[in-house]
């Protein structure tokens, strides 16, 4: 007897809110959302989505930042409810980079470290999907080593002059604000302060860094004045805030949803091509499907830790590593199933790049690199989880 191939599994019991999930899923399957995704898929080469209308529609319902307090545009729900939205966005094929940057990263920093005035001023537009924010961390020659940043913020009267160059940021060409890490005093792991920078004002230059994917990176040069009212968190202690927020960011929910969507597409293709009679392929599909389900459980374990107020960087790193490494296995399977047809691109008149094997082949490495590389995740698990020397 051959093993059955599963379809999209339900959420773990501890994380389930069936009515809310069904409502979000129904909305994302609505004609207005599907039409927007079709328009996105039809974008010519070199164009990418910016601030999607679907985010504004989610914001109208309070779903874009469902776990934020009501006064800041959310619904006051749990982290698991916000994870439900993120998961359903990924499963529906909605481009999620802008949502992750604005809500899950910049919004999270503001919630954790911002003043009441900063929260009231900045969070509602993000929650309503009216404003897009991004992050400016990495620099030339620095990469993931945030303790070695060279961008500086120096006092000029009542303000700070932020000068430096940031690379590999995304959506900066669309964003109005950016959370920028800058050095405010000498030191390695210390001396970093976070500022919210206006990207629409003078002293900001955004240039493209073209890459193998179709969502470009940006090269951002800064020479701007920032007031104390846009300094986020304590002076010289931004590195500690960064480490805490990164653990919250790395639940893996958005990654596993994307991997699940890719896998489901591969399985459907195998069925359409009449390949499921191959027992070796069936067993390979079943094994990978089981791993993806396990990754989902790891992700929800990390989310539940957020709700319990017991965020563990090891749990988050483990989930992020496991779920993003699965992307490589899904791509290899997709290439084997599709064969030569898997090399077709949008330039060949095929569907949008997210719907082609060639497209996910180019996108998949980004999962393993963003929010901390796989190597960094393994180091976190080894040093903090196993007590090994760094």
Q: Where do the domains of the chain lie, and which CATH numbers do they carry?
A: 13-131 (1.10.540.10), 134-240 (2.40.110.10), 250-385 (1.20.140.10)
The 10s digit of each residue's pLDDT in 179-217 is: 999 999 876 557 899 999 999 999 999 999 988 777 889
Question: CA of 245: how far to CAs of 317, 358, 376, in Å?
Answer: 12, 33, 15
Output the six-digit token pair for 372.
């901390």
DSSP category for residue 340: G
Whether the CB-CB separation of 121 and 152 falls below 8 Å is answered with no
**b/e for 152-167, b at 16 or more Cβ within 10 A?**
bbeeeeebbbbbbebb
The 10s digit of each residue's pLDDT in 156-182 is: 988 999 999 999 888 999 999 999 999
The 10s digit of each residue's pLDDT in 342-373 is: 877 766 665 544 468 888 888 888 888 888 88
pTM of structure:
0.87
Q: Count other C-beta atoms under 10 Å from residue 5's C-beta.
A: 14
For the chain, how many helices (H) and strands (E)? 13, 8
Q: What is the pLDDT of residue 176?
A: 93
The 10s digit of each residue's pLDDT in 326-347 is: 999 999 999 999 888 787 776 6
* Nearest-10 crossing angle of helices 253-272, 279-307: 160
């Amino acid at each position: 007897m051959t093993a059955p191939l599963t379809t999209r599994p339900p959420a773990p019991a501890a994380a389930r809110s069936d009515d809310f999930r069904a409502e979000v899923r129904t909305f994302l399957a609505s004609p207005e959302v599907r039409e927007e995704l079709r328009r996105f898929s039809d974008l010519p080469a070199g164009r990418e989505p910016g601030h999607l209308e679907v985010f504004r529609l989610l914001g109208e319902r309070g779903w874009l930042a469902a776990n934020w307090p009501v006064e800041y545009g959310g619904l006051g729900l749990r982290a698991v409810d916000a994870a439900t939205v993120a998961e359903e966005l990924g499963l529906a094929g909605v481009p999620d980079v802008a949502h992750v940057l604005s809500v899950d990263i910049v919004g999270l920093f503001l919630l954790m470290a911002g003043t009441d005035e900063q929260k009231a001023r900045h969070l509602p537009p993000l929650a309503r999907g009216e404003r897009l924010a991004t992050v400016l961390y990495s620099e030339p020659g620095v990469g993931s080593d945030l303790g070695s940043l060279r961008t500086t913020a120096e006092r000029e009267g009542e303000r700070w002059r932020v000068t430096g160059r940031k690379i590999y940021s995304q959506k900066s060409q669309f964003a109005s604000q950016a959370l920028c890490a800058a050095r405010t005093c000498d030191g390695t792991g210390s001396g970093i302060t976070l500022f919210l920078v206006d990207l629409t004002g003078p002293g900001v230059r955004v240039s493209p860094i073209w890459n193998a994917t179709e969502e470009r990176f940006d090269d951002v040069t800064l020479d701007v004045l920032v007031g104390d009212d846009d300094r986020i968190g304590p002076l010289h202690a931004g590195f500690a805030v960064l480490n805490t927020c990164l653990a919250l960011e790395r639940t893996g929910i958005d990654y596993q949803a994307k991997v699940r969507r890719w896998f489901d597409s591969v399985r459907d293709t195998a069925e359409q091509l009449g390949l499921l009679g191959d027992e070796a392929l069936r067993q390979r599909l079943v094994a990978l499907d089981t791993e993806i389900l396990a990754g989902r459980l790891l992700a929800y374990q990390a989310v539940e830790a957020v709700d319990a107020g017991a965020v563990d960087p090891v749990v988050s790193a483990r989930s992020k590593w496991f779920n993003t490494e699965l992307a490589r296995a899904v791509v290899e399977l997709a290439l084997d199933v599709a064969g030569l047809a898997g090399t077709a691109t949008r330039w060949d008149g095929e569907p949008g790049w997210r719907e082609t094997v060639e497209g996910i082949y180019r996108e998949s490495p980004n999962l393993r690199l963003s929010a901390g590389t796989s190597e960094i995740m393994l180091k976190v698990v080894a040093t903090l989880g196993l007590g090994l020397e760094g």
